[in-house]
C-alpha cells in the first residue's frame, strides 16, 4: 500500500434539522500519476485514490471518480443537508485495492 | 458576465499595483493572531518603515489555506514529524520526547533561531541543532539537512511557536556571523548579477515574471509551496533564489547559508512565527 495514507474529516458535531452543513475532507496520499520516471528512467507505477464516496445513513451524498491529474493529498469540501441525527461514512478507494473509511456522527438537536 | 467585465476593467486599470501587499489580517484556527506587519527593526530602519510577511503578497485563496490547520497541507508534515518526535531512534534508545517532553514544550524556540551556541562556538540553525541532538545525544544517523524529515521536524517545532514574535540576537558572539550574512545579502551573484536586495528591497511589490516579489521574510518557513506541493526549508529557498540568478549556489547547511539565514531572520524581528506557512 501507499505510505503514510491517513484520512481526515471535519464535520460539525451538532446541527439543526434540515441545516446545510459544511464538510471538509483530506486524505494524505502521494497520488502518483504513473507518468513520471525515477532516476534510472523507469516508469513509476500509477498509485492514486480513484474514487471517493460519502454516504449518510446509507444514502449517497457524493460519489467522485478521481483521475491521475489530481494533486497529492486530495482535499474535498462540500455542503450537505442533515435531515436527522445520523452518521456520515467517508470512503476512499486506492488503486492497490485498499479502502480507507472514516465515520462521523452528527446529532440533530 | 457583468462582474467579470468590471473586474477585467479593474485589472487593466490597476496595472502594477496588483502586486502590492494587501491589508488583510491573519488569524489561524480562529485563535492564533499573527503579526504580519510590524515596524522595521532598528538595523533595517533605513530600508523599510514596515516589515511585511510574504502572506500579504498572496491572493485571498492562498491566504485562506494558511488560516485553517485542516486546510494547510503543511500540517501533514507537522503530523509526520510528531510521529518522529516520539519514535525511539539510535543507540541511545531515546526519542526527542525523552528529553524534551511534548513538542509543545518547544514553544519559544523557533523565534530565537538561528542562535549562537556557546559550547559549539558557532551560530546554529534549528536544523543543525536537531541533527546535533540526533548524532551526539541519540546516537542516531543525522537527517539530510533540508530533507523531508528534517523540514517536517523544523515545521513541527515552528508550529508550536506560531504567533510569537521573531527575535533573533544579532549582537554579541553572533555579530560576526550576522555581518557575514549581511554581506551575502548585498552581494550580486550569478550571470544576472542580482543580490537578494535587488529584488526584495528594491522591487518588492512588483512582479517577477508571473510571481509576486515579497520582502523575502522568512518568518513563515518552513513553507508549503503550492508549486511543488511540499514543505520547503528556508535554505532550499535561498538556494533556489541564488540558482535563479544563474549562479553556482551554496548548499543548504553551508556556513554561507547559515549566516544568510541569521541575517534574513533578523530582518523579520517583530513579525510572528508563521511556519508552516502556505505560499504559491
| The pLDDT value given to residue B18 | 58
| The pLDDT value given to residue B16 | 45
Chain A residues inside the 8 Å CB shell of B73: 26, 73, 75
Instruction: Among B70, B71, B80, select the one facing A4 at the smallest CB separation.
Output: B80
Tens place of pLDDT for every residue, chain B, 280 residues?
Answer: 444 444 444 444 444 445 788 889 999 999 999 999 999 999 999 999 999 999 999 999 999 999 999 999 999 999 999 999 999 999 989 999 999 999 999 999 999 999 999 999 999 999 999 999 999 999 999 999 999 999 999 999 999 999 999 999 999 999 999 999 999 999 999 999 999 999 999 999 999 888 889 999 999 999 999 988 899 999 999 999 999 999 999 999 999 999 999 999 999 999 999 989 999 8
Say if the Cβ atoms of A71 and B229 lie within 8 Å.
yes
| The pLDDT value given to residue A2 | 63
Say if the Cβ atoms of A24 and B70 lie within 8 Å.
yes
ipTM over the 0.95 cut-off? no
- For the stretch B168-224, pLDDT in tens is 999 999 999 999 999 999 999 999 999 999 999 999 999 988 888 999 999 999 999
What's the farthest any 2 CA atoms get from each other in chain B? 68
CA distance readout (Å), B202 to B67, B106, B198: 29, 36, 5
The answer to whether residues B19 and B205 touch, using CB atoms and an 8 Å cutoff, is yes
A24 in B contact zone (CB under 8 Å): yes
Chain B residues inside the 8 Å CB shell of A6: 79
Instruction: Among B71, B79, B80, select the one facing A75 at the smallest CB separation.
Output: B71
A4 in B contact zone (CB under 8 Å): yes
Chain A residues inside the 8 Å CB shell of B79: 6
Phi, psi of A94 (to 5 degrees): -90, 150
Instruction: Among B70, B80, B229, select the one facing A26 at the smallest CB separation.
Output: B70
The answer to whether residues B121 and B140 touch, using CB atoms and an 8 Å cutoff, is no
User: Where do runs of H (alpha helix) occur along B160-279?
Assistant: 175-185, 196-200, 234-244, 255-266
Q: Is the model's pLDDT at A3 over the cut of 80?
A: no
Nearest C-alpha neighbor of A90 from the set A17, A11, A3, A2: A11
Which positions of B are annotated as active-site residues? Answer: 241
Give how far B18 is from chain A: nearest CA, Å: 28
CA–CA dist A48, B28 (Å, integer) = 31
Using CA atoms of A77, A83, A86, A92 in order, give the dihedral in degrees to the nearest 10: -30
Q: Which residues of A43-71 are buried (b: 16+ CB within 10 A; e: fewer)?
A: eeeebbbbebebbbeeeebeeeebeeebe
Q: DSSP character for B89?
A: B
The Cβ-side half-sphere exposure at B36, using a 13 Å CA radius, reads 25
- For the stretch A23-82, pLDDT in tens is 999 999 999 999 999 999 999 999 999 999 999 999 999 999 999 999 889 999 999 999
Give how far B76 is from chain A: nearest CA, Å: 7
Residue pointed to by grid coordinates 474514487 = A51
Chain B residues inside the 8 Å CB shell of A26: 70-71, 73
- For the stretch B133-148, pLDDT in tens is 999 999 999 999 999 9
Angle at B221 between CA B216 and CA B227, to 5 degrees: 80
Amino acid at each position: 500500500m501507499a505510505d503514510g495514507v491517513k484520512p481526515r474529516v471535519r464535520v460539525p458535531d451538532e446541527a439543526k434539522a434540515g441545516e446545510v452543513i459544511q464538510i471538509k475532507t483530506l486524505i494524505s496520499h502521494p497520488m502518483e500519476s504513473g507518468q513520471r520516471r525515477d532516476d534510472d528512467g523507469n516508469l513509476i507505477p500509477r498509485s492514486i485514490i480513484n474514487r471517493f464516496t460519502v454516504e449518510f445513513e446509507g444514502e449517497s451524498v457524493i460519489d467522485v471518480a478521481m483521475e491521475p491529474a489530481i494533486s497529492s493529498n486530495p482535499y474535498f469540501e462540500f455542503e450537505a443537508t442533515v435531515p436527522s441525527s445520523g452518521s456520515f461514512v467517508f470512503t476512499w478507494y486506492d488503486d492497490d485495492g485498499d479502502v480507507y473509511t472514516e465515520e462521523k456522527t452528527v446529532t440533530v438537536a | 458576465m457583468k462582474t467579470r467585465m468590471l473586474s477585467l476593467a479593474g485589472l487593466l486599470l490597476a496595472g502594477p499595483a496588483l502586486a502590492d501587499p494587501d491589508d488583510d489580517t491573519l488569524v489561524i484556527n480562529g485563535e492564533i493572531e499573527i503579526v504580519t506587519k510590524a515596524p522595521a527593526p532598528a538595523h533595517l530602519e533605513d530600508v523599510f518603515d514596515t516589515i511585511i510577511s510574504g502572506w500579504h503578497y498572496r491572493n485571498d485563496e492562498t491566504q485562506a489555506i494558511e488560516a485553517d490547520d485542516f486546510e494547510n497541507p503543511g500540517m501533514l508534515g507537522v503530523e509526520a514529524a510528531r510521529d518522529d518526535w516520539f519514535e525511539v531512534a539510535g543507540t541511545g534508545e531515546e526519542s526527542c520526547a525523552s528529553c524534551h517532553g511534548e513538542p509543545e514544550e518547544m514553544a519559544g524556540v523557533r523565534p530565537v533561531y538561528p542562535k549562537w551556541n556557546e559550547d559549539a562556538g558557532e551560530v546554529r540553525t534549528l536544523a543543525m541543532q536537531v541533527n546535533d541532538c540526533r548524532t551526539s545525544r541519540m546516537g542516531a544517523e543525522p537527517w539530510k539537512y533540508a530533507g523531508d524529515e528534517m523540514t517536517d521536524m523544523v515545521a513541527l517545532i515552528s508550529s508550536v511557536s506560531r504567533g510569537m514574535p521573531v527575535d533573533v540576537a544579532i549582537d554579541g558572539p553572533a555579530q560576526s556571523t550576522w555581518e557575514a550574512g549581511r554581506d551575502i545579502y548585498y552581494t550580486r551573484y550569478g550571470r544576472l548579477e542580482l543580490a537578494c536586495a535587488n529584488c526584495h528591497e528594491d522591487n518588492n511589490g512588483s512582479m517577477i515574471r508571473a510571481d509576486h516579489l515579497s520582502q523575502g521574510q522568512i518568518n513563515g518557513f518552513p513553507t508549503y509551496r503550492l508549486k511543488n506541493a511540499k514543505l520547503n526549508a528556508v535554505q532550499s529557498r535561498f538556494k533556489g533564489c541564488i540558482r535563479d540568478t544563474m549562479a553556482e549556489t551554496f548548499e543548504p547547511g553551508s556556513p554561507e547559508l547559515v549566516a544568510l539565514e541569521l541575517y534574513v531572520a533578523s530582518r523579520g524581528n517583530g513579525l510572528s512565527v508563521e511556519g508552516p506557512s502556505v505560499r504559491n
